[in-house]
Amino acid sequence: MTSAVEQRVTEYRQRRTALEAFDVNCWLGSPLEPAFTLLDGVADLKAALHRYGIRRAVVSHTMCVRYGAMEGNRELLEAIGGQRDWVAAATLVPEMASGGGWDKLLRAMVADGVRVVRLFPRSHNFLLADDFLGRMLVAVRDLRLPLMIRHTEAAWPEIARLLGKFPDLPVIVEGTGRKLFYDNRSYYPLLERYGNLFLETHNVTNYLGLDDLVKRFGSRQFLFGSYFPHLDPNSSLMPIGDGEMEEEDRLNVAHANLERLLAEVQVR
């Protein structure tokens, strides 16, 4: 390795560390697809994230998608209990609160450390519509829990209706399954219209694509996510650390925007 390359690597790592990245999209459990690396539990995931300079993370469990949401949520909370720098992203399905109501269920989840909730309408075979999910969505909104959904799990018109119907509900759209630049004619106007739309960045892969988003809309609506261990975090850290945006914008995307969202969750 030449001295020039070594210098570039050192500079990149320094910039990466300075971001103080807070990852909104990390996973435990058997990979959902061919993975960048295979990990064995919490200790492996934590050590691997630290190697990329990622000290804090919102963590989901693949069992919630593949097997069952309730079982996966229990596995997730047991696994990350006591991890001070991690928070849980629980998965919801429509029948989950059939016994005691959504407000009671979600308050119990928040007490256990949940700070983000996820929906997988296509994988779990339900409609993303307030006609059917209204009580769930009202309870999520009232607790100010960010709601995370993949753009491959719902059509953009469905996401648009959700944003318009619940303007006080933070909705994080995650890019897993399809590169987001294929859909920019859909979500650019949504970003302009809806301040409660937040875009997770791991699949914003076009050259200077994140910079263009920040120039057009400001940095407030973008959240760093890696989809680790399925993908290499460097691919989503590099556009933030080495892009053309201002330093304040870098830090907003890397960690500050997510910190603000999580601080608004009603924990009592």
The one-digit pLDDT tens for each residue of the chain (268 residues) are: 578 888 888 888 888 888 999 999 999 998 888 778 878 789 999 999 999 999 999 999 999 999 999 999 999 999 998 888 999 999 999 999 876 799 999 999 999 999 999 999 999 999 999 888 999 999 999 999 999 999 999 999 999 999 999 999 999 999 998 888 899 999 999 999 999 999 999 999 888 899 999 999 999 999 999 999 999 999 999 999 988 899 999 999 999 999 999 999 998 7
**Could you tell me the domains of the chain?**
11-263 (3.20.20.140)
Give me the phi and psi of 147, to 5 degrees please.
-105, 125
Q: What is the pLDDT, as a whole number, of residue 1?
A: 54
The predicted model scores a pTM of 0.95
H helices within the chain, ranges in order?
3-18, 41-51, 63-66, 69-80, 102-111, 130-142, 156-165, 184-193, 209-217, 234-241, 247-251, 257-263
Question: Taking the CA of residue 44 as centre, how many other CA atoms within 13 Å lie in the half-sphere pointing to its CB?
Answer: 10
